[in-house]
Structure 1
């Protein structure tokens, strides 16, 4: 496929953050930008997740694709019809107000996105699914949270297998049904949205990979963090490379046929 000489723009969803516990900022991890620039071959652009600053329509016009990043705050349970409890943790309601309608618009248009960790959960909620607030408290489930101590290398170390559906999009993309991934999340999918297809699972049954059924564009999303060591990891690199191909195609004016990337 011929490449546009201008690097396509990938909007990277930011998180609200306080610098030195007092200065408000919109923050994005450097590893996200590196994965977008060096593996996907796109221009990383940090998006302030605040609907008073940006609109979905503007983002769809300016960006060719989107990286739905991880983040400490969780999707507010009111977005999937449940009451807030202490187990749900902290929230970022401004991010909810940007990402959830953005995901639905991208699905309808076929505009590519890659969901990561919280982004994976956002895709499910945006498409009508629900979440468990704390999966380690469920019978038979493991603790998937980030280790509280150690170096970044230790926190992002490979921790468990993910098994994909035979012949599914992740199996086809990665060339194998089993991979090793890191694990740094507390919440997880409880009920998939009507069009959400779970395509990969951890050994304890936790959903780890999904796509949107019959979506015309790239909607692959994962519960782990492929941005870590993306240039060298044998799972992360093809995932970001495939995302980059989809973004380049969108920027070049190509529009995928219905369901081409979703089954």
Structure 2
């Protein structure tokens, strides 16, 4: 039996590799390793062309982390700390997540991916979380993950997957859910009240986390996504 095809969105950024320095479609390789480790076939999805119809060819979808979602998408003016906005990526990923929700495709959002999901369903974001919680624990320094505990909701799918009420996870985000999108349920929070995970009501498998599971060795969220796939007829 062939492996389920798991599409993973990616960055488009200036990059340096071997002897080259140019714009590249790129993704932290840990995403690829986690998906392959648990039996999926990872496929990187650049934000180009018509992305929504791609969902019909996927068994599952991961929206990866990245820069900030454009605040005009949820009716706000940009904060002075909002940055790395890529409108073409917002367009592509909003189309992808809406198509995945419509077709019931298993979905996992990571960091920015959770924010895209929330905005796609009419929610809004805190544009600079330290203004709200009064500390920088969610992103302690450029290019360095922080470690903070999150508490999962009793009876949630997330809690069942992680197997614990409180888990210590890798954080790197300065934005977070403000107004919750329609049809979402909060399934984890940080100690400071920040929304750290949501699930889509009535969907076979659609959840998103604000932290970075790809930064840890443990693969439970990726395994759960692959386990809930239903192979697409090809």
User: So what's the TM-score if we normalise by structure 1?
Assistant: 0.82
Distance (Å, rounded) in 1 between the aligned partners of 2:2 and 2:123: 37
Residue 219 of structure 1, aligned match among 201, 206, 209: 206
Provide the residue aligned with 1:74 in structure 2: 68
Distance (Å, rounded) in 1 between the aligned partners of 2:157 and 2:121: 19
Contact 2:137–2:148 at 8 Å: present in 1 too? no
Offset of 1:91 from its aligned partner? Answer: 0.3
Offset of 1:142 from its aligned partner? Answer: 4.7
Distance (Å, rounded) in 2 between the aligned partners of 1:97 and 1:206: 26
C-alpha distance after superposition, 1:230-256 (max 9, x if no partner)? 3xx2xxx22111111012xx2167xxx
CA 1:116/1:146 → structure 2, altered by over 3 Å: closer, same or farther?
farther
Provide the residue aligned with 1:49 in structure 2: 47
Offset of 1:195 from its aligned partner? Answer: 1.1
Contact 1:48–1:54 at 8 Å: present in 2 too? no
Where 2:215 maps in the other structure, the secondary structure is coil
> How many residues are paired up?
230
Distance (Å, rounded) in 1 between the aligned partners of 2:188 and 2:169: 12
Provide the residue aligned with 2:128 in structure 1: 134
Provide the residue aligned with 2:59 in structure 1: 64
Residue 226 of structure 2, aligned match among 223, 240, 244: 244
Distance (Å, rounded) in 2 between the aligned partners of 1:173 and 1:227: 15
Where 1:122 maps in the other structure, the secondary structure is helix
Greater share of strand:
2
Aligned pair 1:182/2:170, yes or no?
yes
Question: Mapping of 1:120-159 within 5 angstroms?
Answer: 120-140=114-134, 142-148=136-142, 155-156=144-145, 159=147
Where 2:142 maps in the other structure, the secondary structure is coil
Residue 12 of structure 2, aligned match among 8, 11, 16: 16
Where 2:81 maps in the other structure, the secondary structure is helix
Offset of 1:42 from its aligned partner? Answer: 0.8
Where 1:86 maps in the other structure, the secondary structure is coil
Residue 199 of structure 1, aligned match among 187, 191, 194: 187
Aligned pair 1:165/2:153, yes or no?
yes
Offset of 1:174 from its aligned partner? Answer: 2.3
Where 2:47 maps in the other structure, the secondary structure is coil
Superposition RMSD on alpha carbons, in Å?
Answer: 1.8
Distance (Å, rounded) in 1 between the aligned partners of 2:32 and 2:224: 16
Where 2:98 maps in the other structure, the secondary structure is helix
Contact 1:164–1:199 at 8 Å: present in 2 too? yes
Give the unaligned 5+ runs of structure 1: 150-154, 254-263
Give the unaligned 5+ runs of structure 2: none
Provide the residue aligned with 1:257 in structure 2: none
